[in-house]
Structure 1
């Protein structure tokens, strides 16, 4: 354990980020210091901009709280690879401005990573084929082992054969693991999953789901790089998966200036554009897309202003259909609250076909 003041401070910060609250005695024990030294280390972190709240008493302790500043964070090697994977896949989505922002953020992370971790992150970037479209908005990525992803990225970059344990999910072998010897070629993010494009030494070219790979063993054996059939890893994946699901797109006209919309929704949404209403008042266009109409409808719950769906008959039809169910539920809740002598919810009104009111 690093017993220097700087080493202790970094270890303390790492501990504070793993739990909501820490008893002072337990923190001191973890760091191998006395309470007085712990208090000095806490003050050292506060001076760097971290907001650490202290509570006195028998159940007291320390808690890292949120704030307006963004001081440095501490990540493990696997966490850094996971963040890099998420950023790189986000850049593949192609949302307006998102690609440039995420790649800039990824470059900043790479600059400060230890050399061993930086090697894995850069290997991930160089082995990725972004033509798969990245993760769709609203899609939840399948659980993934960042260590496995990083090892596969290195194998792709270095043309190194690996031995895999791959979980079978269909047929008579469902639930069992198969050992595969493969020559990795590329990693492709698509929808909510990562895929390894590789040449299986026993089965030929394959697209393997990374979330089904339970173990990777580098062999140290190099192989001459081979072109993926067709020359494009993303296109090869598309042929393996079959026709992609229908992708729905819509433009939402929000009756509010773009600065207000971005201030309220910019933390979780992108692709806004300024526009003007026929009355001359400023408004905002919001471009959304997904393979599921329900995801688009759910996103509209965040819009606090009046809005209209101006170019998606499918989404408009779904909103009209679900508006009846929402209104019925709200009225039923209002009746129950009235019988209990409580205030019911605010009334929900629906607009004419093609839009809903916020």
Structure 2
């Protein structure tokens, strides 16, 4: 009997070690809000403002994902991540052209040398921006894509224009280990002779109350000559005072670089996060100044109008996984009516 118990204990120990060496995690989130706009015409990073109808939609992109890790020994490991995006109000794909729209990559990691990844992921310049938006690029209050001052990552080399934005397909990237709060990341998205080659990097520091970051992204080549030479630089500085965390962000983008009239747009934002009443108060004010030579009319994101936006919101956690929120965003622009939208919603993560 004692021998049997000992054998079971040994087998259990081996099983525990095996499970620790390899794991797959299922994760996700669902977010829905009731929103309403005032029908204004100024840009607001939200379709709600241009409609006076009551709308049910997500603020944070709902997702279902899988991530895995395998310990290869000697400080080496392998990981993967695939993430599906969908609209829970109707149960449809967020983008019909992409089932794994969020992320789809595989990587090899070293505890001392960093990690190398291949596939579809956010570009390095995205991180200083999204970490500086108090709303996390979500909902009616977000600063969002305006923070890139008109720059867009090239469309998918597979030919799907809807993929353009802040993620890059066909990426080969590297991220350094954390060295006393300092990290660096560099990535190249292969254009495969379909779109321009996208190259970017960032340097981030996070230590104590300080977060500071610098990012760069640029496009070379590709069949669309107008974007050859487009580039973005951005920088961020945060300082957590405890009772409030002030945030500063700045970006400058060169667009239409391959034409006779290249344009330089500038954007800045001041934001803050403050713990109040068990929740978090969010506030941001940003201003986009397009190049004075921008012709009119120009469709988004290169509007010929100076744009500004005020975002206010409050998040309250009901638990570690469930959060309720109320947000407001008001956009203003030259020769346009104020665009104001409101949202009250709930987000659940698992």
Say yes or no: TM over 0.5.
no
Which is richer in strand?
2
Q: Which has the higher contact order (CA 8 A, sep 6+)?
A: 2
**TM-score of the pair, normalised by structure 2:** 0.23
Larger Rg: 1
Q: Per residue, is there more helix in 1 or in 2? A: 1
